[in-house]
Amino acid sequence: MEISTYFFNTEAPVLGVLIIILAAIFYAEKSTNSFLVKFFKYVPGLLLCYFMPSILNSLGLVSPDVSKNLYYVASRYLLPASLVLLTLSIDLKSIINLGPKAIIMFLTGTVGILIGGPISLLIASYFGLVPINPEDLWRGLTTVAGSWIGGGGLTKRQ
């Protein structure tokens, strides 16, 4: 039996710690404490939401295997539930009141990301500007494009 050197070896405590860290960051960001107001003026809270959990792994507190399993659970269950809750609060009337120019601009940006990514990939591959396997490159591209338009990409080989 192998003994783990990590402090957190299962998903439940890691999820709890992550929730506590994120709640603390969001709470601190809304604080009226003068130090925190100055701090968050220069350091975005969203950056800390990415940075602080990564420290847990760097310090050897969280096993990378647990992180992978937690990502799977979060992306398959928590993210869809959160998106449903987020869309419940959308004020469609206000979006329609923005007018057709705003809606057309949003749709044009989405189409530009979806079409522009593959075109830039073709151009970069043609000139040999990208020193990476095209198979891996397009998988990374789908993840980035998916995150820009509110979704995700398939990055695991089938």
Mean pLDDT over residues 39-44, rounded? 89
pTM metric for this prediction: 0.53
- Which range among 29-33, 73-77, 89-93, 110-114 shows the weakest confidence by mean pLDDT? 73-77
Domains of the chain, residue spans: 1-90, 91-158
Collapsed DSSP state (helix, strand, coil) of residue 84? helix
Q: Is the pLDDT of residue 134 over 80?
A: no
94 pLDDT higher than 80? yes
Mean of the per-residue pLDDT values for the chain? Answer: 78
| DSSP conformational letter for 127 | T
Q: Where does the pLDDT of residue 156 fall: very low under 50, low under 70, confident under 90, or very high at 90 and above?
A: very low
**Contacts made by residues 69-76, CB under 8 angstroms, sequence distance 24+:** 69/11, 70/11, 70/14, 70/15, 70/18, 73/11, 73/15, 74/15, 75/152
Would you tell me how many other CB atoms lie within 10 Å of the CB of residue 15? 16
Q: Which two tokens stand for residue 38?
A: 């100055």
